[in-house]
Amino acid sequence: MITIGQSPREDIQNELRQILGTRPIEVLGALDGLSENEVAELTPEAPSDTFHTRLSNGTEVVVSKEAVTARLVGLLSESKNRPVLVACTGQFEGLPHYPNVLFPSAILGLLVEAVAPAASTLGVLVPLVEQIEPLTRQWQRPERDVVVAAVKPGDNPDEAAATLADAGVDLVVLDCFGYETPLLQRVREITGVPVLSAVRCTAHVASEMLQ
């Protein structure tokens, strides 16, 4: 597993283990080896260039997607065709094709296309307010209305979930790899509709691929 921040990420590993069981999971971070000052220099250029992640000491940071993508190239090149899960729902542009690499954004996007009603309102949760506009555009379809709300992983999701519930969403996507099961369960309670977790959906695909 490659996180866009720094390893370790026990929170994500714990979520994956609910699906993958006792399989060993090696964790690498795109920002491993960088000091906090060096990470602070990876400033996003625009809302669409924004990633929210965590350092090894637990500090939450906002970094440039372009900078993270450049560092991912090296890590994926060194994977030598081993199975890799990129622990981020962002869409990465300019990455060469790598075999045996799972990108949650591709999995989640196609899954929503498969299960969402033909004409529907999709609810999406993202970590940062800055991500609401670009991710609304990303999820928008001619036959689909999209309502995006922001809540950071680990924060109380009630207000964001209520926003989605008030909009009458038919399905909710947790568009961040840092969201954990208690948040999923609370969003499901408040909205009363199915909730797709990026972590759990990707883990199920990984489990099938590893059989």
What is the three-class DSSP state of 125?
A: strand
Nearest to 170 by CA among 205, 120, 127: 120
Q: How many CB atoms lie within 10 A of CB 159?
A: 12
For residue 33, the model assigns a pLDDT of 95
For residue 94, the model assigns a pLDDT of 79
211: exposed, middle or buried (Cβ count in 10 Å: 0-12, 13-18, 19+): exposed
Taking only the tens place, the pLDDT of each residue in 23-72 is 999 999 999 999 999 999 999 999 889 999 999 999 999 999 999 999 99
Fold of domain 106-197: Rossmann fold (3.40.50)
User: What are the domain boundaries of the chain?
Assistant: 2-104+203-209, 106-197
pTM of the model: 0.92
Nearest to 62 by CA among 46, 92, 40: 40
Whether the CB-CB separation of 134 and 51 falls below 8 Å is answered with no
Taking only the tens place, the pLDDT of each residue in 135-182 is 999 999 999 999 999 999 999 999 999 999 999 999 999 999 999 999
For residue 210, the model assigns a pLDDT of 87
